[in-house]
Amino acid sequence: MESAESRTPRGTARLEALTTTALDMFLHQGYEAVSLDDLIARVGGSRRNIYDHFGGKQGLFIAAVTAMCEQLAAPVKSLKIPLSGDPAAALLLFGKAVLERVLLPRTLDMTRLMIAEAVRFPDLAQTIWRSGHEQPAIVLAEWITHQQKKGVLRKRQPPMLLARQFVDLVVTDAQLRALIGIPGTYNHDKALKLAIDTFLQGQRSGSNDSEGERQ
């Protein structure tokens, strides 16, 4: 429920500060460890304000995480993959952009939070997953559809399925290593180029396409 105060510049700024600080605390302490009293001590305001605007701690948690998901997904949503030219170069551009977002410390913190709170907040966990993993696949599926229509890629499999598989190839190993802090160097460029080679070797149009599509 929106109050008169929230419609003023000061009220809006306070709500933004509250949501931002709450997210930082949830990410680094976990849902259970964060108390409204500690949050109010850092930001100001009152319990009444939190309950008026968010319905309590759970509503604040959902609002803060949802807002962060929208921020994380925005750069990927706006990513433009070249529709013409070398498919490998287009996939390299896409893959680097996705890896850059996935491996941000903030994104990794959000992923850890998703894993920790998936049972308590299943719908929210899916929101986090869609913003970080499914959204890149949606963007890539559009590019794959275009390449299939042009005859550059085979039409055997649905574009969304292929997009998800490519994102898995690019993201899974690098993300897991970063999440659990596996020591040692990991050559992201080499792994990305291998993923692109593997994908294109299986999906480029070739002389056996007609036979495969009839099966």
State the residue for tokens 């109010």: 40
The whole-number pLDDT of residue 7 equals: 56
Contact yes or no for 143/160 (Cβ under 8 A): no
The whole-number pLDDT of residue 209 equals: 52
DSSP 204: B
The whole-number pLDDT of residue 213 equals: 45
In this prediction the pTM is 0.81
Residue 129 burial (CB < 10 Å; 0-12/13-18/19+)?
Answer: middle
The whole-number pLDDT of residue 215 equals: 38
Provide DSSP, 29-52.
Answer: H-TTT--HHHHHHHH---HHHHHH
Neighbours of 120 (CB within 10 A): 12
Q: Identify the segments of the chain with pLDDT beneath 50.
A: 1-5, 207, 210-215
| Domains of the chain, start order | 5-55 (1.10.10), 66-207 (1.10.357.10)
Contact yes or no for 90/51 (Cβ under 8 A): no
**pLDDT (tens digit, 9 = 90+) per residue, 4-50?**
445 577 767 878 888 999 999 999 999 999 999 999 999 888 899 89
Query: What is the distance in angstroms between the CA of the first residue and the CA of the last residue of the chain?
Result: 58
